[in-house]
Amino acid sequence: MEGSGHIVLSILAGILQIVMLPLMAPLVTGIIRKIKALLQNREGASVLQPYRDIGKLFRKDEVINPDASWVFRFTPYLLFSTTVVAGISVPLITTIRIFGFTGDFLTLVYTLALGVFFLALAGMDTGSSFGGFGSSREMTVAALSEGGIVFSILTLAIAARTTNLSSIAAAVELLPLPSLIPVILAFSGFLIAMLAETGRFPFDNPATHLELTMIHEAMILEYSGRKLALIEWASSIRLVLFISLGVNLFFPWGLASSVTFPLLAVSTVLYLFKVLLFCFLIAGIETGMAKLRFFRLPDLLFTSFILSAIAIGLMV
């Protein structure tokens, strides 16, 4: 009788692992926008507004440039699926590996890179001036931020003696207090690189269509209708994916270590609370900080890389 309950819970946890990030992603985006609005003394739209936006876009007609090739039409589907597939590897509410063969952090980083590769190509595909420059800027930032992401997670991987994300979370939970100094260093490196990867301040302004500064928005300027919906949705999944990595790898306390109902319930609540805290952090950064000039960004990204390299040095 205990066995069957366990199986039901495992299947439930498996389904949750796949659909949780896509379902909660627009909400997280909405919450960040709401916090920002409140911090700026505005009323702000409802936290559910991103769901309505995506739903509306899915039902709209599309306009496609005649110069665009199949790369342009195919990219939104690939981008969405790479983001969801990458999300499967992220430990959300438990440190148990729900699916075998997933969870390697390099695979996660490179799977996300595959989506960006195609998005950058799609940006060039329509032959407009904005798209090309957006692609160029995006690939520049992506190339430099990859090192920061890899190295910050590597710090934890070395402490945990495994590159599997779930096992890293389990191991970091048990680390003695002195080892937390490199973890904090690595987290600051991760935070910088993650803001770059998700196109937030001070790297990119997700709310602007100003031609001189936009990066991500410039690439997707030509998209409309359901393809735009997929891309917008994928971007918000990408954001919540990196937030989850941040809270569950560097601060894994409270993750369920076995599949039982009370543990899962507690860890779900804790996880959502941690994500909410992270939303405050991002909204705070975006309210208190100006976007940096493009050629100042590399300094910041190299800082992220060096912070993580120092953390690796401290982690014996």
Please provide residue 66's backbone torsions phi and psi, each rounded to the nearest 5 degrees.
Answer: -65, -20
Q: How far is the CB of 184 from another protein (least distance, A)?
A: 19
Three-state DSSP state, 256: strand
Among 1, 2, 43, 61, binds another protein (CB under 8 A): 61
Cβ proximity to another protein, 124 vs 175, nearer residue:
124
The HSE-up count of residue 44 (CA atoms within 13 Å, CB side) is 18
d(CA 63, CA 74): 15
Among 1, 2, 101, 176, binds another protein (CB under 8 A): 101
CA torsion 268-269-274-277 (nearest 10°) is 140
Among 9, 37, 96, 150, binds another protein (CB under 8 A): 150
Is residue 127 part of the contact set for another protein (CB under 8 A)? yes
Binding to another protein in span 19-58, by CB under 8 A: 58
Cβ proximity to another protein, 105 vs 187, nearer residue:
105
Cβ proximity to another protein, 117 vs 278, nearer residue:
117
Three-state DSSP state, 88: helix
In this chain, which stretch among 42-50, 150-158, 183-191, 195-203 interacts with another protein, using CB under 8 A?
150-158
**How big is the site for another protein, counted in residues (CB under 8 A)?**
76
Binding to another protein in span 221-260, by CB under 8 A: 222, 225-226, 230
d(CA 126, CA 71): 10
Q: With CA atoms as reference, report the closest residue to 113 among 88, 89, 149.
A: 149
Binding to another protein in span 129-148, by CB under 8 A: 129, 131-133, 135-137, 139-140, 142-147
Tokens of 154: 């590597």
